[in-house]
Structure 1
Amino acid sequence: MIRMYCKNQYYWHFCLVLFYFVFANSAQAYASAEVTVPTEQEDGHWMQGLHETVSDSVFQSAQWFDSFFIANDSEQQSPKTTAKISFAWLPKSRDWSEIKPRFRLRVKLPHFQDRVSVVLSDEIDDELNNLPLESVNTNSSTEEEKFSLALNYTDDKKNDRLMNYRLGISGGDLFARAKHKRRLTINPKQGFLVEPSMYYYLNDGFGAKLLLEYDYQLSSKSLFRLNYSIRGSAAFSGIRWKHGFYKLEQINHTTASVLSFQAEGERNGARGFFIDKYTLSYRYRFNALRDWLFFEIEPFVEFPEQENYTTTPGIALRIEGFFHKG
């Protein structure tokens, strides 16, 4: 209980610092700018003002950070910033209180030829625990309330492959990771992805993961995808595995959907082979009000082992804002 309390305190203290860091720059920018009153015809909607404020604040902070890597006789270039802020409510039959605010910030540093970026996030490391299209994860854990700060370096980046390295801190634990991604085209309708990775956490030790992905183009707007991942670590016994089956469809230029079925579990551990959970979901995503604002509605049904695989229905409601500049 004491550990949980400390983690929550560190998490919210960090959020307050981040809030001050971003919005203090915004206030300073507004104070130094000429105040104008927009007319009804101008694009002065408060949502557009919010988007510009957050984008400018993140950009100014990134520019300040990148300035440390400039030689005295060099001219500063503009960094590229991408931020995502999301809120999700995931009520289900046994828990109606789960609300997840999330943020993710990526800054590409031009003085490293855009190969180096800084990634700041409080999301779960989806490249370790989750499949790429996994969106419903309702496991209650204090580990979700953590943030990570990492330096990301990409080398040998081409259309069909890349090599990526990451060094940072996550949940108070230092880590390093190396990942290779290779995409193979079988024919115009079929493709295959192989993504092995190795990582080391100071507290948990070494680990490795292998992600395999198969795509089949059903039509110009529909795709079938199969994901499979296995993961091992010195932090736990056995091998964790996940399967994912997805049907992706672009309904129109602002709307898309994903029908998914996932299964996850463990093998070769103390309990042998077992299945943690089955999840069936339908994810409906659409863009509305602004081109940077997205909404999602995702009804789902879980069959968890801890509930003797009893049907557990729920729904996920999300709103996401994307902020780009540079």
Structure 2
Amino acid sequence: MYKQKEIALKLIGLLFIFYFILSQAVFAKGIIKDNSNAKTESITAQPNHYCEHQQWLDKTYCHFFYGIDSAANTLNDWSRHEGSNLNSEASTSGRLRFGWEPRSGDFSALDFRFKIRVKLPALEERVELVLSDQEDDVNGQELKAARSEELGNNKDQAVVALQFKRSAEDKVSYRVGFGRGSQIYTRARYSDMHRLSPDSTLRYFAEANYYSEDELGTELNAEFAHVFTPKLAYELSNSFRYRNKSNDWLWRHEMQLIYMGKNNSSYLFTAMIDGLSQPNYRKEQMLLSMRYKKQVLREWLYLELEPYILYLRREDFRPSIGIALRAEVHFST
């Protein structure tokens, strides 16, 4: 059964990649279908008129961006029905991240992450398509070395899912798809935000989920944020995830200090500890890091430098010193 689900997930990914390649071929040949909607036609034509005259970096980004945008608008067209918004086009947002994260004892840690989110106005902004290689749950980790299987991280964290709400403003969202190692899953999440003062906010969510192998589960998260100045902010996060299959809790406590520097740069200082409730409430790992992020060359390209110290239980909490080097591409419509 697990093998069949893994194959199904890979087929879905291959179909999306095939459509993306096909859209690139359409752009390259300048094939523009007649359409009464002038706006849609101009957007489809733009890559051929604009991308070919760019430098190689801009040209690569341009074709990739409009390939994703074309695929999203095709999905939106398929979703149109009587009474839906016939003029608005799909909106896409996401990022690609390429990283090298060497640390003492492991100098070959390469990491690639992606996340694409598509909103479909044809369905009244109530449905989103999510494609990602990471779960947006309480156990998500930026550093590859901190994604331990003891804390519920699978090597295959690919996510293909549909998320929908009863209305665009609804605080309850529902999701169904594949995740956590190609498991079929569904979830319901309630999220909200309260402004405690002009400078302080409290964000939280609670969810119930069911995974075909992990079975029933719940997740709780609360984040307190305070803005000291326009350039300095503090955030405290506490998270818990219950797994019915193993009858235990995964927990995390994290503090972050964010400073906005000059010339589109930022500094993020992080102190994090997480662990399990079984066989007792104990820590599994600790992390201290400082991430420097700067926009370079283009408004959509960022570089990150993150020195860190990681303590893992499986390594007897010996300090492992490392540095993460990343390039990140952002896109949105």
Bin of the TM-score, shorter chain as denominator length? 0.7 to 0.9
For residues 149 and 196 of structure 1, the distance between their equivalents in structure 2, rounded to whole angstroms, comes to 21
Q: Is residue 169 of structure 1 aligned with residue 178 of structure 2? A: yes
Instruction: List per-residue Cα deviations over 1:48-85 (Å, max 9, x = no partner).
Output: 11121011111111122222222379846411122321
Question: Counterpart of 1:127 in 2: which secondary structure?
Answer: coil
What is the correspondence of 1:275-294 to structure 2 with a 5 Å cutoff?
A: 275-294=283-302
Partner in structure 2 of residue 303 of structure 1: 311
| Alignment partner, residue 122 of structure 1 | 133
Contact 1:225 1:247 survives alignment (8 Å): yes
Amino acid at match of 1:248: I
Opposite residue 198 of structure 1, the aligned amino acid is A
Which residue identity does 1:83 align to in structure 2? G
1:145 lines up with 2:156 in the alignment: yes
What residue in structure 2 maps to residue 187 of structure 1? Answer: 197
1:245 counterpart residue number: 255
Partner of 1:79: 90
**Whole-angstrom distance in 2 between the partners of 1:70 and 1:36:** 27
Letter in 2 for 1:321: V
Q: Which amino acid aligns with 2:23?
A: N
Percentage of identical aligned residues: 23
Deviation at 1:21, TM superposition (A): 2.9
Give unmatched runs, 5+ long, in structure 2.
Answer: 32-44
**Normalised by the size of structure 1, how large is the TM-score?**
0.85
Shifted more, 22-31 versus 301-310: the winner is 22-31
Q: 1:261-272 maps to which residues of 2 (within 5 A)?
A: 261-267=271-277, 269=278, 271-272=279-280
Matched residue type, 1:89: W
* TM-score, normalising length: structure 2: 0.84
Q: Is the Cα contact below 8 Å between 1:182 and 1:193 reproduced in 2?
A: yes
Alignment of 1:28 onto 2:33: no
Match of 1:88 in 2: 99
Which has the larger strand fraction?
1
Does the Cα contact within 8 Å between 1:286 and 1:296 map onto a contact in 2? yes
Tell me the residue number matched to 1:97: 108
1:88-147 deviations in Å (ceiling 9; x for gaps) = 111111111121112221111111111211111122x132422xxx52241366823342
Match of 1:112 among 115, 118, 123: 123
CA distance in 2, matches of 1:227, 1:73: 42
Instruction: Give SS of 1:143's match.
Output: coil
Partner Cα distance (2:301, 2:165) in 1: 29
- Aligned partner of 1:58 among 63, 68, 73: 68
* 1:28 counterpart letter in structure 2: V
- Write the deviation string for residues 14-35 of structure 1: whole angstroms up to 9, x where unpaired: 7665444312311221112699
Deviation at 1:164, TM superposition (A): 1.6
